Protein backbone atom coordinates (compact mmCIF):
# COMPACT_ATOMS: atom_id res chain seq x y z
CA UNK A 1 0.00 0.00 0.00
CA UNK A 2 2.65 2.44 1.04
CA UNK A 3 4.86 1.75 -1.93
CA UNK A 4 2.92 4.17 -4.11
CA UNK A 5 3.59 6.93 -1.62
CA UNK A 6 7.10 5.74 -1.38
CA UNK A 7 7.88 6.04 -5.04
CA UNK A 8 6.12 9.34 -5.34
CA UNK A 9 7.78 10.58 -2.20
CA UNK A 10 11.20 9.69 -3.45
CA UNK A 11 10.85 11.37 -6.75
CA UNK A 12 9.29 14.30 -4.98
CA UNK A 13 12.28 14.61 -2.71
CA UNK A 14 14.63 14.31 -5.65
CA UNK A 15 12.83 16.95 -7.61
CA UNK A 16 12.63 19.38 -4.73
CA UNK A 17 16.32 18.97 -4.03
CA UNK A 18 17.16 19.60 -7.65
CA UNK A 19 14.92 22.64 -7.67
CA UNK A 20 16.70 24.04 -4.65
CA UNK A 21 20.06 23.45 -6.25
CA UNK A 22 18.81 25.06 -9.41
CA UNK A 23 17.55 28.15 -7.62
CA UNK A 24 20.78 28.70 -5.85
CA UNK A 25 22.84 28.34 -8.98
CA UNK A 26 20.36 30.66 -10.61
CA UNK A 27 21.29 33.40 -8.19
CA UNK A 28 24.91 33.09 -9.11
CA UNK A 29 24.17 33.24 -12.80
CA UNK A 30 21.85 36.20 -12.55
CA UNK A 31 24.73 38.46 -11.66
CA UNK A 32 25.59 38.63 -15.34
CA UNK A 33 27.62 41.30 -17.01
CA UNK A 34 25.76 43.93 -18.95
CA UNK A 35 28.25 45.11 -21.48
CA UNK A 36 27.55 46.77 -24.77
CA UNK A 37 29.17 44.31 -27.04
CA UNK A 38 27.79 42.42 -29.99
CA UNK A 39 27.75 38.79 -29.00
CA UNK A 40 28.42 36.34 -31.79
CA UNK A 41 28.85 32.60 -31.42
CA UNK A 42 31.13 30.18 -33.20
CA UNK A 43 31.18 26.41 -33.05
CA UNK A 44 33.88 24.29 -34.58
CA UNK A 45 36.06 21.22 -34.23
CA UNK A 46 38.94 22.58 -32.20
CA UNK A 47 39.82 19.07 -31.10
CA UNK A 48 39.14 15.64 -32.45
CA UNK A 49 39.67 13.99 -35.80
CA UNK A 50 39.27 17.09 -37.96
CA UNK A 51 40.84 19.58 -35.62
CA UNK A 52 42.61 21.58 -38.31
CA UNK A 53 39.23 22.55 -39.78
CA UNK A 54 38.14 24.10 -36.52
CA UNK A 55 41.44 25.72 -35.73
CA UNK A 56 41.90 27.28 -39.18
CA UNK A 57 38.34 28.56 -39.08
CA UNK A 58 38.68 29.99 -35.59
CA UNK A 59 41.95 31.70 -36.42
CA UNK A 60 40.58 33.32 -39.54
CA UNK A 61 37.40 34.45 -37.84
CA UNK A 62 39.46 35.90 -35.01
CA UNK A 63 41.51 37.75 -37.60
CA UNK A 64 38.45 39.15 -39.35
CA UNK A 65 36.79 40.25 -36.13
CA UNK A 66 39.98 41.71 -34.71
CA UNK A 67 40.43 43.74 -37.87
CA UNK A 68 36.85 44.97 -37.60
CA UNK A 69 37.20 45.83 -33.92
CA UNK A 70 40.51 47.58 -34.51
CA UNK A 71 38.87 49.74 -37.17
CA UNK A 72 36.38 51.00 -34.59
CA UNK A 73 33.96 48.13 -34.42
CA UNK A 74 30.41 48.72 -35.52
CA UNK A 75 29.49 52.31 -34.64
CA UNK A 76 31.99 52.05 -31.82
CA UNK A 77 30.62 48.80 -30.43
CA UNK A 78 32.96 45.84 -30.34
CA UNK A 79 32.17 42.33 -31.48
CA UNK A 80 32.78 39.48 -29.08
CA UNK A 81 33.08 35.97 -30.45
CA UNK A 82 32.23 33.14 -28.09
CA UNK A 83 33.74 29.89 -29.27
CA UNK A 84 32.59 26.37 -28.44
CA UNK A 85 34.42 23.20 -29.35
CA UNK A 86 32.35 20.34 -30.73
CA UNK A 87 35.22 17.83 -30.67
CA UNK A 88 34.51 16.86 -34.29
CA UNK A 89 31.27 15.21 -33.15
CA UNK A 90 27.79 16.08 -34.44
CA UNK A 91 26.07 15.48 -31.12
CA UNK A 92 28.49 17.81 -29.41
CA UNK A 93 27.80 20.36 -32.15
CA UNK A 94 24.14 20.33 -31.19
CA UNK A 95 24.98 20.87 -27.54
CA UNK A 96 27.48 23.61 -28.35
CA UNK A 97 24.97 25.54 -30.47
CA UNK A 98 22.35 25.17 -27.77
CA UNK A 99 24.69 26.62 -25.22
CA UNK A 100 25.65 29.53 -27.47
CA UNK A 101 22.06 30.44 -28.13
CA UNK A 102 20.44 29.72 -24.79
CA UNK A 103 23.18 30.55 -22.37
CA UNK A 104 25.48 32.98 -24.15
CA UNK A 105 22.59 34.67 -25.96
CA UNK A 106 24.40 35.29 -29.19
CA UNK A 107 22.73 37.12 -32.04
CA UNK A 108 24.35 35.11 -34.81
CA UNK A 109 26.28 31.87 -35.13
CA UNK A 110 29.27 31.10 -37.32
CA UNK A 111 29.95 27.47 -38.14
CA UNK A 112 30.59 24.71 -38.97
CA UNK A 113 33.00 23.38 -41.54
CA UNK A 114 31.70 19.85 -41.63
CA UNK A 115 28.26 19.48 -43.17
CA UNK A 116 27.28 16.80 -40.64
CA UNK A 117 28.00 19.10 -37.77
CA UNK A 118 26.34 22.06 -39.48
CA UNK A 119 23.29 19.87 -39.97
CA UNK A 120 23.30 19.11 -36.28
CA UNK A 121 23.43 22.76 -35.31
CA UNK A 122 21.25 24.30 -38.01
CA UNK A 123 17.82 23.16 -36.80
CA UNK A 124 18.57 24.63 -33.41
CA UNK A 125 19.51 27.98 -34.95
CA UNK A 126 16.49 27.89 -37.21
CA UNK A 127 14.09 27.14 -34.37
CA UNK A 128 15.57 29.89 -32.27
CA UNK A 129 15.54 32.27 -35.24
CA UNK A 130 19.22 33.03 -34.95
CA UNK A 131 21.06 33.40 -38.25
CA UNK A 132 23.76 30.83 -38.89
CA UNK A 133 26.52 31.37 -41.42
CA UNK A 134 28.54 28.35 -42.38
CA UNK A 135 31.87 29.20 -43.93
CA UNK A 136 32.60 25.87 -45.59
CA UNK A 137 29.75 23.35 -45.37
CA UNK A 138 29.00 22.35 -48.91
CA UNK A 139 26.16 19.87 -48.58
CA UNK A 140 22.96 21.42 -50.03
CA UNK A 141 20.85 20.11 -47.14
CA UNK A 142 22.44 22.57 -44.74
CA UNK A 143 20.73 25.70 -46.07
CA UNK A 144 17.57 23.74 -46.77
CA UNK A 145 17.01 23.53 -43.03
CA UNK A 146 15.48 26.98 -43.06
CA UNK A 147 15.69 30.60 -44.01
CA UNK A 148 18.02 31.53 -41.19
CA UNK A 149 20.86 29.35 -42.49
CA UNK A 150 23.42 30.78 -44.90
CA UNK A 151 26.64 29.70 -46.49
CA UNK A 152 29.46 31.62 -48.16
CA UNK A 153 30.97 28.72 -50.09
CA UNK A 154 29.97 26.68 -53.11
CA UNK A 155 27.74 23.65 -52.81
CA UNK A 156 28.39 20.03 -53.52
CA UNK A 157 26.26 19.77 -56.65
CA UNK A 158 28.61 22.32 -58.17
CA UNK A 159 31.71 20.77 -56.67
CA UNK A 160 30.76 17.26 -57.69
CA UNK A 161 29.99 18.37 -61.21
CA UNK A 162 33.22 20.28 -61.53
CA UNK A 163 35.25 17.36 -60.20
CA UNK A 164 33.54 14.94 -62.57
CA UNK A 165 34.17 17.21 -65.53
CA UNK A 166 37.78 17.57 -64.50
CA UNK A 167 38.18 13.82 -64.21
CA UNK A 168 36.50 13.20 -67.52
CA UNK A 169 37.90 16.06 -69.58
CA UNK A 170 41.27 16.95 -68.08
CA UNK A 171 42.32 13.57 -66.74
CA UNK A 172 40.58 11.73 -69.58
CA UNK A 173 39.23 9.11 -67.23
CA UNK A 174 36.42 6.89 -68.42
CA UNK A 175 36.28 4.42 -65.54
CA UNK A 176 36.11 5.87 -62.07
CA UNK A 177 36.05 4.30 -58.64
CA UNK A 178 34.55 5.95 -55.59
CA UNK A 179 35.76 5.61 -52.03
CA UNK A 180 33.47 7.61 -49.80
CA UNK A 181 33.07 8.14 -46.08
CA UNK A 182 29.72 6.61 -45.28
CA UNK A 183 29.51 8.42 -41.94
CA UNK A 184 29.71 11.82 -43.50
CA UNK A 185 26.91 13.73 -45.23
CA UNK A 186 29.40 15.77 -47.13
CA UNK A 187 31.26 12.78 -48.49
CA UNK A 188 28.18 10.82 -49.41
CA UNK A 189 26.52 13.81 -51.07
CA UNK A 190 29.58 14.85 -52.99
CA UNK A 191 30.11 11.32 -54.23
CA UNK A 192 26.54 11.15 -55.50
CA UNK A 193 26.87 14.45 -57.36
CA UNK A 194 30.12 13.33 -58.90
CA UNK A 195 28.54 10.12 -60.08
CA UNK A 196 25.63 12.02 -61.60
CA UNK A 197 27.79 14.19 -63.81
CA UNK A 198 30.41 11.58 -64.57
CA UNK A 199 27.91 9.06 -65.83
CA UNK A 200 26.03 11.68 -67.81
CA UNK A 201 29.24 12.37 -69.69
CA UNK A 202 29.52 8.73 -70.60
CA UNK A 203 31.86 7.65 -67.86
CA UNK A 204 31.46 4.43 -65.90
CA UNK A 205 31.60 3.94 -62.17
CA UNK A 206 33.37 0.62 -61.84
CA UNK A 207 33.58 0.44 -58.08
CA UNK A 208 31.82 2.18 -55.21
CA UNK A 209 33.37 1.42 -51.84
CA UNK A 210 33.01 3.07 -48.47
CA UNK A 211 34.76 3.50 -45.17
CA UNK A 212 33.96 5.17 -41.87
CA UNK A 213 35.56 8.30 -40.51
CA UNK A 214 38.19 7.16 -38.06
CA UNK A 215 39.14 3.97 -39.89
CA UNK A 216 42.84 3.41 -40.32
CA UNK A 217 42.86 0.48 -42.66
CA UNK A 218 41.51 0.75 -46.17
CA UNK A 219 43.37 -2.08 -47.82
CA UNK A 220 40.29 -4.24 -48.07
CA UNK A 221 38.34 -1.62 -49.99
CA UNK A 222 41.35 -0.59 -52.06
CA UNK A 223 42.04 -4.16 -53.05
CA UNK A 224 38.47 -4.46 -54.28
CA UNK A 225 38.88 -1.22 -56.22
CA UNK A 226 42.17 -2.29 -57.72
CA UNK A 227 40.56 -5.38 -59.11
CA UNK A 228 38.30 -3.19 -61.27
CA UNK A 229 41.14 -1.14 -62.78
CA UNK A 230 39.73 2.36 -62.64
CA UNK A 231 41.44 5.31 -64.32
CA UNK A 232 40.85 7.58 -61.38
CA UNK A 233 39.64 7.16 -57.80
CA UNK A 234 37.37 9.82 -56.38
CA UNK A 235 37.94 10.18 -52.64
CA UNK A 236 35.57 12.86 -51.32
CA UNK A 237 36.64 12.50 -47.70
CA UNK A 238 38.51 14.41 -45.04
CA UNK A 239 42.24 14.88 -45.03
CA UNK A 240 43.00 12.48 -42.19
CA UNK A 241 41.67 9.47 -44.01
CA UNK A 242 42.67 10.68 -47.46
CA UNK A 243 46.32 10.78 -46.49
CA UNK A 244 46.23 7.20 -45.27
CA UNK A 245 44.19 6.06 -48.26
CA UNK A 246 46.77 7.51 -50.62
CA UNK A 247 49.56 5.71 -48.82
CA UNK A 248 47.83 2.38 -48.75
CA UNK A 249 46.75 2.70 -52.35
CA UNK A 250 50.36 3.12 -53.43
CA UNK A 251 51.38 0.22 -51.21
CA UNK A 252 48.93 -1.96 -53.03
CA UNK A 253 50.36 -0.87 -56.34
CA UNK A 254 47.52 1.44 -57.41
CA UNK A 255 49.14 4.12 -59.57
CA UNK A 256 46.15 6.06 -60.84
CA UNK A 257 45.55 9.60 -59.57
CA UNK A 258 43.24 10.28 -56.67
CA UNK A 259 40.71 13.06 -57.04
CA UNK A 260 39.11 14.86 -54.15
CA UNK A 261 37.06 17.75 -52.88
CA UNK A 262 37.58 20.52 -50.38
CA UNK A 263 37.66 18.03 -47.52
CA UNK A 264 41.29 17.51 -48.40
CA UNK A 265 42.15 21.07 -47.45
CA UNK A 266 44.50 21.01 -44.49
CA UNK A 267 48.12 21.76 -43.78
CA UNK A 268 48.40 18.24 -42.44
CA UNK A 269 47.33 16.56 -45.65
CA UNK A 270 50.83 16.33 -47.04
CA UNK A 271 52.25 15.39 -43.68
CA UNK A 272 49.95 12.39 -43.53
CA UNK A 273 49.93 11.44 -47.21
CA UNK A 274 53.48 12.29 -48.11
CA UNK A 275 54.83 11.17 -51.45
CA UNK A 276 51.79 9.03 -52.04
CA UNK A 277 49.82 12.13 -52.92
CA UNK A 278 51.99 13.08 -55.88
CA UNK A 279 49.89 13.48 -58.97
CA UNK A 280 46.62 13.76 -57.07
CA UNK A 281 44.11 16.56 -57.57
CA UNK A 282 41.58 18.28 -55.36
CA UNK A 283 39.25 21.25 -55.19
CA UNK A 284 40.21 24.24 -53.10
CA UNK A 285 38.22 27.38 -52.34
CA UNK A 286 41.15 29.67 -53.07
CA UNK A 287 44.74 29.78 -54.15
CA UNK A 288 47.17 31.25 -51.67
CA UNK A 289 49.52 32.56 -54.34
CA UNK A 290 46.75 34.44 -56.13
CA UNK A 291 48.30 37.81 -56.99
CA UNK A 292 45.11 39.66 -56.01
CA UNK A 293 46.23 42.15 -53.29
CA UNK A 294 43.26 41.32 -51.07
CA UNK A 295 44.28 37.67 -51.02
CA UNK A 296 47.91 38.46 -50.37
CA UNK A 297 47.03 40.87 -47.55
CA UNK A 298 45.05 38.14 -45.93
CA UNK A 299 47.80 35.58 -46.34
CA UNK A 300 50.38 37.94 -44.89
CA UNK A 301 48.21 39.02 -41.94
CA UNK A 302 47.36 35.42 -41.15
CA UNK A 303 50.96 34.36 -41.33
CA UNK A 304 52.05 37.17 -39.03
CA UNK A 305 49.33 36.51 -36.52
CA UNK A 306 49.37 32.73 -36.45
CA UNK A 307 52.47 31.53 -38.26
CA UNK A 308 51.96 29.09 -41.12
CA UNK A 309 49.95 29.65 -44.27
CA UNK A 310 46.17 29.90 -44.19
CA UNK A 311 44.41 27.01 -45.89
CA UNK A 312 41.16 27.10 -47.85
CA UNK A 313 39.06 26.74 -44.70
CA UNK A 314 40.75 29.77 -43.19
CA UNK A 315 40.09 31.78 -46.33
CA UNK A 316 36.40 30.91 -46.29
CA UNK A 317 36.15 31.60 -42.58
CA UNK A 318 37.74 34.98 -43.08
CA UNK A 319 35.15 35.78 -45.69
CA UNK A 320 32.37 34.54 -43.43
CA UNK A 321 33.61 36.76 -40.61
CA UNK A 322 33.78 39.79 -42.85
CA UNK A 323 30.41 38.95 -44.30
CA UNK A 324 28.95 38.99 -40.80
CA UNK A 325 30.65 42.27 -39.99
CA UNK A 326 29.31 43.85 -43.16
CA UNK A 327 25.81 42.71 -42.31
CA UNK A 328 26.08 44.16 -38.82
CA UNK A 329 27.38 47.44 -40.21
CA UNK A 330 24.45 47.70 -42.58
CA UNK A 331 22.02 47.04 -39.74
CA UNK A 332 23.69 49.68 -37.60
CA UNK A 333 23.55 52.32 -40.28
CA UNK A 334 20.03 51.61 -41.55
CA UNK A 335 18.24 50.73 -38.31
CA UNK A 336 20.09 52.19 -35.33
CA UNK A 337 17.31 51.36 -32.86
CA UNK A 338 17.22 47.76 -33.93
CA UNK A 339 21.01 47.64 -33.72
CA UNK A 340 20.90 48.96 -30.17
CA UNK A 341 18.57 46.14 -29.23
CA UNK A 342 21.03 43.43 -30.19
CA UNK A 343 23.86 44.76 -28.05
CA UNK A 344 24.88 42.89 -24.92
CA UNK A 345 22.55 40.42 -23.26
CA UNK A 346 18.83 40.52 -23.94
CA UNK A 347 16.85 42.78 -21.66
CA UNK A 348 13.18 42.18 -20.91
CA UNK A 349 12.15 45.62 -22.17
CA UNK A 350 13.76 45.22 -25.58
CA UNK A 351 12.93 41.56 -26.10
CA UNK A 352 10.54 42.06 -29.00
CA UNK A 353 12.71 44.67 -30.64
CA UNK A 354 15.70 42.34 -30.40
CA UNK A 355 13.83 39.58 -32.16
CA UNK A 356 12.82 41.95 -34.93
CA UNK A 357 16.35 43.28 -35.16
CA UNK A 358 17.78 39.80 -35.60
CA UNK A 359 15.18 39.11 -38.27
CA UNK A 360 16.28 42.27 -40.04
CA UNK A 361 19.88 41.13 -39.81
CA UNK A 362 18.82 37.92 -41.46
CA UNK A 363 17.16 39.85 -44.26
CA UNK A 364 20.34 41.85 -44.78
CA UNK A 365 22.33 38.64 -45.09
CA UNK A 366 19.80 37.23 -47.53
CA UNK A 367 20.00 40.22 -49.81
CA UNK A 368 23.78 40.50 -50.02
CA UNK A 369 25.09 41.03 -53.52
CA UNK A 370 28.64 41.12 -54.82
CA UNK A 371 30.29 41.09 -51.43
CA UNK A 372 34.02 41.13 -52.20
CA UNK A 373 35.41 37.99 -50.61
CA UNK A 374 38.95 36.74 -50.99
CA UNK A 375 37.50 33.46 -52.15
CA UNK A 376 35.47 35.21 -54.80
CA UNK A 377 32.54 37.56 -55.01
CA UNK A 378 29.68 36.49 -52.73
CA UNK A 379 26.11 36.91 -53.84
CA UNK A 380 23.50 35.11 -51.78
CA UNK A 381 20.91 33.45 -53.94
CA UNK A 382 17.32 32.53 -53.08
CA UNK A 383 18.49 29.33 -51.39
CA UNK A 384 20.90 31.29 -49.23
CA UNK A 385 23.87 29.78 -51.03
CA UNK A 386 26.79 31.64 -52.50
CA UNK A 387 27.84 31.11 -56.09
CA UNK A 388 31.62 30.77 -56.13
CA UNK A 389 34.38 29.52 -58.39
CA UNK A 390 36.30 26.31 -57.72
CA UNK A 391 40.07 26.01 -57.92
CA UNK A 392 41.93 22.82 -58.73
CA UNK A 393 45.25 22.07 -57.12
CA UNK A 394 47.64 19.21 -57.52
CA UNK A 395 50.44 17.96 -55.33
CA UNK A 396 53.99 17.43 -56.48
CA UNK A 397 56.95 16.77 -54.24
CA UNK A 398 54.95 17.71 -51.17
CA UNK A 399 53.99 21.08 -52.66
CA UNK A 400 50.70 22.38 -53.91
CA UNK A 401 50.52 23.52 -57.51
CA UNK A 402 47.80 25.48 -59.22
CA UNK A 403 46.04 23.70 -62.04
CA UNK A 404 43.01 25.71 -62.97
CA UNK A 405 40.04 27.75 -61.90
CA UNK A 406 36.49 26.88 -62.82
CA UNK A 407 33.89 29.61 -62.82
CA UNK A 408 30.29 28.76 -62.02
Partner 1 sequence: MRQFLFILGAIAVLFVLNLVLPALVNPYIFQILILCGINIILAVSLNLVNGHTGQFSIGHAGFMAIGGYTCAALTYYLGPQIVERATSIGLPPAVSGITFFVFSLLAGGAASAVAGFLVGLPSLRLRGDYLAIVTLGFGEIIRVMILNVEAVGGARGFADIPGHTNFFWVSFFVFLTILVVRNLTTSTHGRAFISVREDEIAAEALGINTTNYKVLAFVIGAFFAGVAGGLFGHYLMYLHTNSFTFMKSFEVVIMVVLGGMGSITGSVIAATLLTVLPEALRPVKEFRMVIYAALLIFLMIVRPQGLLGMKELSLRTFRSLPFRTEKSKSRQGESGAAEGTNKNAD
Partner 2 sequence: MQEFLQQLVNGITWGSIYALIALGYTMVYGILRLINFAHGDVYMVGAFTAYFAARLFGAPGPVSLFAAVLVLLLAMAVSSLLGVVIERGAYKPLRKSPRLTMLITAIGVSLLLENLGLIVFGADPKFFPQIVAPRQIELGVGVLVSSHQIIVLSVSVLLMVALQVVVLKTKIGKAMRAVSFHREASSLMGISTDNVITFTFAVGSALAAAAGVLVALSNPKIDPLMGIMPGLKAFVAAVLGGIGNIPGAMLGGLIMGISEVMVVGYISSTYRDAIAFALLIIILLVKPTGLMGTGMGEKV
Nearer to partner 2, 189 or 376 (CB): 189
If binding is defined by CB under 8 A, does position 149 make contact with partner 2?
no
Side-chain-side CA neighbours of 52 within 13 Å: the count stands at 18
Q: Is 18 exposed, middle or buried (0-12, 13-18, 19+ CB in 10 A)?
A: exposed
Q: Which residues contact 91 (CB under 8 A, 6 or more apart)?
A: 120
Binding segment toward partner 1, per CB under 8 A, in 13-21, 196-204, 225-233, 276-284: 13-21
C-beta of residue 324 within 8 angstroms of C-beta of residue 133 = yes
Residues forming a β-bridge with 181:
211
Nearest Cα residue to 389 out of 281, 286, 296, 316: 286
User: What ranges in 31-88 are assigned the alpha helix state H?
Assistant: 51-70
Nearer to partner 1, 89 or 231 (CB): 89
If binding is defined by CB under 8 A, does position 226 make contact with partner 2?
yes
Binding segment toward partner 1, per CB under 8 A, in 1-9, 218-226, 258-266, 395-403: 1-9
CA 385, 391, 392, 393 dihedral sign is negative
Q: Which entry of partner 1, partner 2, none binds 25, CB below 5 to 8 A by partner kind?
A: partner 1
Nearer to partner 2, 264 or 323 (CB): 264
Side-chain-side CA neighbours of 41 within 13 Å: the count stands at 27
| Residues numbered 337-376 forming contacts with partner 1, rule: CB under 8 A | none
If binding is defined by CB under 8 A, does position 220 make contact with partner 2?
yes
Side-chain-side CA neighbours of 223 within 13 Å: the count stands at 4
If binding is defined by CB under 8 A, does position 268 make contact with partner 2?
yes
If binding is defined by CB under 8 A, does position 49 make contact with partner 2?
yes
If binding is defined by CB under 8 A, does position 179 make contact with partner 1?
no
Cα separation, 340 vs 321, whole angstroms? 20
* Nearest approach, Cβ of residue 182 and partner 2 (Å): 6
Binding segment toward partner 2, per CB under 8 A, in 61-69, 143-151, 248-256, 326-334: 248-256
Nearest 5°: CA angle at 373, between 367 and 379? 25
C-beta of residue 225 within 8 angstroms of C-beta of residue 235 = no
C-beta of residue 225 within 8 angstroms of C-beta of residue 179 = yes
Q: Which entry of partner 1, partner 2, none binds 305, CB below 5 to 8 A by partner kind?
A: none
User: Residue 397 — φ and ψ, nearest 5°?
Assistant: 50, 45
If binding is defined by CB under 8 A, does position 252 make contact with partner 2?
yes
C-beta of residue 392 within 8 angstroms of C-beta of residue 281 = yes
Nearer to partner 2, 277 or 328 (CB): 277
Q: Please select the residue that binds partner 1; options are 22, 31, 71, 407, rule is CB under 8 A.
A: 22
Tell me which residues touch partner 2 (CB under 8 A): 47-49, 51, 87, 182, 209-212, 215-217, 219-221, 223-224, 226-227, 240, 243-244, 247-248, 251-253, 268, 271-272, 274
Residues near partner 1, by CB under 8 A:
1, 3-12, 14-15, 17-19, 21-23, 25-26, 29-30, 89-91, 94-95, 98-99, 102-103, 116, 119-120, 122-124, 127, 145, 182-185, 188, 212
Amino acid sequence: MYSAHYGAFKSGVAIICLFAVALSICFVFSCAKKTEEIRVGEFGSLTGTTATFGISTKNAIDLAIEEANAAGGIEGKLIKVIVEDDQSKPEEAATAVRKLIEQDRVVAVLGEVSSSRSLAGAPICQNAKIPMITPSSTNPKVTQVGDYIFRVCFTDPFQGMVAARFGHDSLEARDAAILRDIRNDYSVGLADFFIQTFTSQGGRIVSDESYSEGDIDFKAQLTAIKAKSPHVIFVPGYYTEVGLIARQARELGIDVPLLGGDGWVSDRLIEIGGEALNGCYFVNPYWEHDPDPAVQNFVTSYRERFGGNPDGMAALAYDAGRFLVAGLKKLASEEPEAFAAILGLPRPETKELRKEAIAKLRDIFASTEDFPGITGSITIDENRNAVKPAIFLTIEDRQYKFVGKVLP
